[in-house]
Structure 1
Amino acid sequence: MAHRRKDVKFAHGGRSASNGRARRPSQSMSEFSEEPGSPTTNGALASPALDVPVQTEYEKKRANFIERTVWTLVMIGGFFWALGAGHLYIIIIVTAVQVISFKEVIAIANVPSKARSLRFTKSLNWYFLGTAMYFLYGESVIYYFKHILMVDRAASTGYPPQVSSSSSSPYKKGHYRFQFTQFAWTHMALFLIVGQAHFVINNIFEGFIWFILPVSMVITNDIFAYLCGITFGRTPLIQISPKKTWEGFLGAWFFTVLWGVGLTHFLAQYKYFICPVNDLGANIWSGLECKPNPVFMARNYALPFVPAGVPIPRTFNIMPVQFHVVILGTFASLIAPFGGFFASGLKRTFKIKDFGDSIPGHGGMTDRMDCQFIMGSIAFFYYSSFIAIHHTTVGGVIEAAITGLTHEEQMEVVKIMSKHLVNQGVISPKILELLSEQLKRR
């Protein structure tokens, strides 16, 4: 009788023969090669394999096109509805966009964190987002509505909430360098997304036109860059985006400027679009009232160096804002696309196609908003530097009186103003007497 060798191992990782028992044959269905109608291990007939229809490449593209078109129409419809409903709804949309974009960007860096089983990342990232939004949104509300909000010195500083100390540290020994790298990633995301979204919201407060113009210019530039590129594009523009061409780039600039000039001419006719926000409850039906910025008042301009006899008018009537629109359109064509180049380089670095799938058929929110953020920031800086009218406002005076004076000094200011109004015959002298009595009681 032949004896088994004790050092023999079975091919399927079974136990050696030294334990005296052989491995049971696997009953996994993957180990059987069955034909349709052949008996299975329990004697029953196996059902024929179902023919699953394979989707062709054309059908995939058609389904993607339909999905993309439907969601494009949904987003356009939602945007115009919010535009008519009021500034508050547009601010809510911008807030949602920045939160989703932040989530997508942070998710890229969280992949290695999960691989290392580091627990701090999610909660701490959302804390930083909430703190940044609290500080920036509070600053904007106080600045634009200080004539309504009676704030004290502590509230006007806009300090973010403090974190209570805890004995448990979010850091894990042996991973300090990696975790501080994650910190840097989070803060860069806050700077590039939340910081720039803050400027977009400030544009809304300054007037809808300063929000609509940059947004629509970026969209127009993107559309005509594609149309001009596929029509007569030949020369590559940049290596990181091989589909972009010089012909598409220049054609998009021309049509973006043309669109901006035409849209500004239309929006400037309605105060709802050009007035700064003084009532968050206003909508397109109630409208807004203000003294328009002088850039929206048409003036006569003369063309220099026009030879006599040339059939060209020497003077033309145009709003000064149109000159600013040409510059903003140039910014949208020359600078804003670099937000797309930056996003493309980032995706290539992490070897991903899209930042996410937040918008069906379109990819991630960041994929659609990479140029919008940088254009919104540029529009705010340009408006603040060359268009905004800087003068003393009622809100500025009230803020100085509230935050820089004591209660006694504030009462003295009220008394002096009351004297002035009594002398002008605006209010009754009895009001001044009541104020004097109140001051004596204190």
Structure 2
Amino acid sequence: MKVLVIGSGGREHAMVWKIAQSPLVEGVFCAPGNAGISGQATCVPLKVDDIDGLLDFALKEQIGLTVVGPELPLTLGVVDRFREAGLTIFGATRAAALIEGSKSFSKDLMAKYGVPTAAYGTFTDRDQAVAFIERQGAPIVVKADGLAAGKGVILAATVAEAIAAVESILCEGAFGSAGARVVVEEFLYGEEASFLAFTDGERIVPLASSQDHKAAYDGDTGPNTGGMGAYSPAPVVTPEIHDKIIAQVLKPTIAGMAAEGRPYSSILYAGLMIRDGELKVLEFNARFGDPETQPLLARLKSDIVPVLMACARGDLSGIELEWHDKAAVCVVMAAGGYPGEYARGQAIEGLEAAAAIDNLVVFHAGTTLRDGRVVTNGGRVLGVTGLGTTVAEAIDRAYLGVRAIDWKGVHYRNDIGRKALNR
């Protein structure tokens, strides 16, 4: 069959890379794709929010399976439109994607169905939000309610910082319509982990554990980003914690979504804070995480296409995942200045040298071709993913690849995966 992947980032490159390995697949398309993806799929110049264009293309090309990468087309109802046209598509429906599209909906859902999460308040009024912040004190977390490309979360160290964040989001429109409402939460201490699972609305097929690194700089300092690197497995997710996540988070959330008339059949991502054997949910995403997808798919032994098809058809019975007995570490190489202002069009050197390194895959995120050369075209540019028998070995392999690559202003963290070593 032919497969269409919607998106243009590192997550989508990892999906294309994995899907293309399936004997069930005769051709892969990606809309819009990037320079790296173009080596493994036919890139289609359609934007992820061009639902009409994507649907027309899938019908014309007789696409057997469409896989949605980013959150925006999900919240715009791409899955609903494709299914109405009789096409098989993997992703959350518009109603189900609200679990990511609105943080206030997600928090209210967790409160209603007993899913552990941080104490919170939701506000559209600046003065009410400020009064809540002054009562709670700092540190405290301020979030734009809607989609903000992973950048709508401010960890405020002081009350003044939190008030400034509220004013920036609510009054000054820093995140546009996504900031018409803010969620203010208690600050949680502990270690973060990412937990992804396929579900058909009833059955749950968990993926291996992973951990993202949101902060821009070493030591988890600096502004929040879409993610500066990830690794799998994450030792903070012990077997006991794994069972708690299934019982306390995934089962009640999936049952709650069904009870709310929003049945959830896709991949569900839970961002967690873990401390002293207890866990709380930071956020839900209605799609694969980026950059967690890169190390997860590098470790996945199973053919992913039958899993995606089963999930898209709403029946995961009999599906099990096999994993390579290796660790994987992905280091994101970003444009200088990200997540703020950054330059585009910088020529990338060393990609061929990195491609020659064993147990290393370079996934492209923000790249494009200009005059036959690969140049930067985004904030997060590459996800250099190394495999090893241990996390330490995978870290060494990933940074070997990172050191082979360069461009003007390149920025990356030097401590991706270190928390695993500390454990």
Fold match (TM-score > 0.5): no
The structure carrying a bigger strand percent of its residues is 2
Q: Between Structure 1 and Structure 2, whose CA radius of gyration is higher?
A: 1
TM bracket, shorter-chain basis:
under 0.3
TM-score by length of structure 2 reads: 0.24
The structure carrying a bigger helix percent of its residues is 1
